[in-house]
Amino acid sequence: MTLMTKFLGTGAALALTAGAALADPALIYDLGGKFDKSFNEAAFMGAEEYAAETGGSYKDIELQSEAQREQALRRFAEAGFNPVVTTGFSMSSPISSVAADYPDTKFVTIDGYVDPSEHPNVLSILFSEHEGSYLTGVLAALASDTGTVGFIGGMDIPLIRKFACGYAQGVLATNPDATVISNMTGTTPAAWNDPVKGTELASAQISQGADVIFAAAGGTGIGVLQAAADADILSVGVDSNQNHLHPGKVLTSMLKRVDVAVRESMAQGADLETGVMMLGLAENGVGYALDDNNADLITAEMKSAVDAAREQIIAGEVTVHDYSSDDSCPALSF
C-alpha cells in the first residue's frame, strides 16, 4: 500500500487546484497493441479501473508505426489531455523530444527512463523486476523436486535478462545446487507473441528435467503455461496474476503492477508529481501472487521463506543484482 500512499499523498494536497478536473488523461499503448494479455492489457485494466472508480473518461490509442509515437504524444498534448501516460520503453525517446514543447502537459513513461533534470514534466515509472523475480525464484527452488528449474523469456532484451537474473539469484540463494535453464524466444518483437514456440521451449526444458518454469514472455508465456500444465509440472506467470489460467498448476505469478501505475497516474491528473519513481518490493510495485488458485501449492514453510526474503530485501540485508545496471549477471550466463 506504500504505492498508493505515495501517489495519494501528493494528490490529496493538490486535489482542489483549479483546472485539474478539466483535463482527461490519455493512454498510449506500445506497438504490441491493447490486448496482448500482458503488459499493455494491464495498462488498459488500470485505465478502466480509473474510469470506473472516478467516473471519469480517458482517451487511448494503439500505435501503428514508429512515426506515430511522437505524433500521438503531440496531438494528445495539443488537445489538452493531461497526463499522457505511455507504456513501453520505446516511448521514452519520443517523450524526450516532445516534452519540452508542452511544458504544461505531464507525460508518464512506464518502463522507460527520461532524465528528470532535462524534462521536469515527465514521470518515469520503473519497476524492480529483479526483486520480484527473486521471490519467485525462491518459491521455484522450494517447489522443485528435481533441482532443475527453467526460465523462458520473450524478446532477448536487457529488461528480460533482468527478470531472469533476479529469478536465478533467488533459486540459487535457496538451493545452491539447483540448475537454472534459461531460454529466450527470439530477438524480435514477434517473440512477445509466439505461444507455439513457447510450448516448444517449455517441452525442451521439461525434457531436461525442469519441473518449474518461469515465463516472462508476454503472449508467448500462454504457451509455456499450457505446456507445463499438460506435462503436470509447475509454471510461474508474469506481470498480471496468471494463477487462474491453470488453477493448481501455476505456482505463482511475478506481479508487476502496471495497472496500479496507470490508474494512479491518471487519478492524479494534471498535478501528477514528476520525476523518477522506482517501484520495488517496498512499494508493492512488484511481488508474488498468492490466491485461492495456488494456496495449496505454497506450503507454510515456503511462505515463511519467501516472506523472509522479501523482508530482507526491503531492509537492505539482501541485495538483488540488477542485470541492467552493468549488463551482467552473477547467477546466470546468457
Partner 1 sequence: MDKMPAWADAVLVPLISILLAALLSALVILAIGESPLDALTLMIEGALMRSSGWGYTLYYTTNFIFTGLCVAVAFHARMFNIGGEGQAMIGGLGVALVCLFIPFPHWSVALLVATLAAAVFGALWALIPAYLQAKRGSHIVITTIMFNFIAAAVLNYVLVNLLRPTGAMDPATATFPAATHLPTFQDMFATPDNPLFRGAPANVTFFLAVLACVAFWLVMWRTRLGYEIRAFGHSESAAKYAGISPVRITVVAMLMSGGLAGMMALNTTMGEAERLVLNATEGAGFIGIAVALMGRSHPVGIFLAALLFGFLYQGGAELALWTSIPRELITVIQALVILFTGALDNMVRMPLERVFLALRKGA
The least CB distance from residue 93 to partner 1, in Å, is 7
Q: Residues 192, 36: contact at Cβ < 8 Å?
A: yes
Q: Cell triple for residue 319?
A: 541485495
- Residue 304 DSSP SS3: helix
Does residue number 273 form part of the binding site for partner 1 (CB under 8 A)?
Answer: no
Cα 71 from chain centre: 26
The least CB distance from residue 112 to partner 1, in Å, is 8
What's the CA gap between 176 and 331, in Å, rounded? 10
Nearest to 142 by CA among 333, 287, 307: 307
Q: Cell triple for residue 294?
A: 495456488
Does residue number 51 form part of the binding site for partner 1 (CB under 8 A)?
Answer: no
Does residue number 48 form part of the binding site for partner 1 (CB under 8 A)?
Answer: no
Does residue number 74 form part of the binding site for partner 1 (CB under 8 A)?
Answer: yes
The least CB distance from residue 76 to partner 1, in Å, is 8
Work out which of 67, 278, 295, 308 binds partner 1, going by CB under 8 A. Answer: 67
Range in contact with partner 1 (rule: CB under 8 A) among 69-77, 224-232, 260-268, 306-314: 69-77
What's the CA gap between 38 and 278, in Å, rounded? 20
Residue linked to cell 518454469: 213
User: Within 239-268, which residues bind partner 1 (CB under 8 A)?
Assistant: none
What's the CA gap between 121 and 16, in Å, rounded? 20
Does residue number 314 form part of the binding site for partner 1 (CB under 8 A)?
Answer: no
Angstrom CA distances, 242 to 8, 253, 288, stand at: 28, 6, 11
Work out which of 2, 10, 68, 203 binds partner 1, going by CB under 8 A. Answer: 68
Q: Residues 90, 68: contact at Cβ < 8 Å?
A: no
Residue linked to cell 511481488: 287
What's the CA gap between 3 and 46, in Å, rounded? 14
Does residue number 318 form part of the binding site for partner 1 (CB under 8 A)?
Answer: no
What's the CA gap between 144 and 213, in Å, rounded? 10
What's the CA gap between 45 and 23, in Å, rounded? 20
The least CB distance from residue 141 to partner 1, in Å, is 28
Range in contact with partner 1 (rule: CB under 8 A) among 61-69, 119-127, 145-153, 257-265: 61-69
Taking CB under 8 A as the rule, which mask of x and - marks residues 156-185 in contact with partner 1? xxxx--------------------------
Range in contact with partner 1 (rule: CB under 8 A) among 117-125, 187-195, 239-247, 288-296: 187-195
Angstrom CA distances, 196 to 23, 35, 169, stand at: 43, 18, 28
User: Within 82-141, which residues bind partner 1 (CB under 8 A)?
Assistant: 89-90, 93, 98, 101, 111
Range in contact with partner 1 (rule: CB under 8 A) among 146-154, 267-275, 296-304, 323-331: 323-331
Range in contact with partner 1 (rule: CB under 8 A) among 13-21, 68-76, 224-232, 288-296: 68-76
Work out which of 45, 48, 75, 314 binds partner 1, going by CB under 8 A. Answer: 75
**Interface ranges with partner 1 (CB under 8 A):** 31, 33, 61-62, 64-68, 70-72, 74-76, 89-90, 93, 98, 101, 111, 155-159, 187-189, 324-325, 327
